[in-house]
Every structure is written in structure tokens, then in C-alpha cells.
Amino acid sequence: MIKYSTNITKEFEKSLMESVVNLISSAIDKNKLYSPEWLSLMNAAKYAGVSYNTFIKFRHMGLKVCEIDGIKRVSRKEIDRFLEENSF
């Protein structure tokens, strides 16, 4: 068994910890960068903080939804606008 000096072990631990922190920070930044503007109805409901059924009610109340060839998407800006417009 090879024994390493305490300094080398501590330097290695420090370097390893810095690498892990950088990796986690990078993953968090990439997640922030990939935040699509157009959301599926399910993800849009999550974004708005309501159930899917409530979100469908929002559509009937005037929330604009884009539909192309059966695919429905809602922009984050539209959700924000709708919620702001219906706030009191």
C-alpha cells in the first residue's frame, strides 16, 4: 500500500472539490440557458403554477395558444401577460 503525504492528499481533495463545484455550476448554467420560450401545454401549466385542467380554463378565458399541425405551444411571454392582465 502506498502512503501519500497529508499535503498531497489535501491538495487532491481540494482540486477534486473545485472540479465538482465547477461541473455542477456548468450544469446549472446550461439548464438556465436551455429554457425554451415556447412550452407544451403541460409544461406551460407547470410554469404558471396551476393544474393542466386550470390551464385549459385559462385558454377559454383568452390565453393565446399557438397550434400548428396539431401541436400546441404557449409562449412564456403570453402566460406572463395573461396572468398579469388577470391580476387584481
pLDDT, tens digit, 9 for 90 and up, residues 71-84: 999 999 999 999 99
Q: What is the pLDDT of residues 30-61, one digit of tens each?
A: 555 567 899 999 999 999 999 999 999 999 99
pTM reported for the whole predicted model: 0.61
Amino acid found at 6: T
Pairing of strands 66-68, 38-39: unpaired
Only one residue has cell 492528499, namely: 9
Q: What are phi and psi of 35, to 5 degrees?
A: -130, 90
DSSP 8-state class, residue 33? H
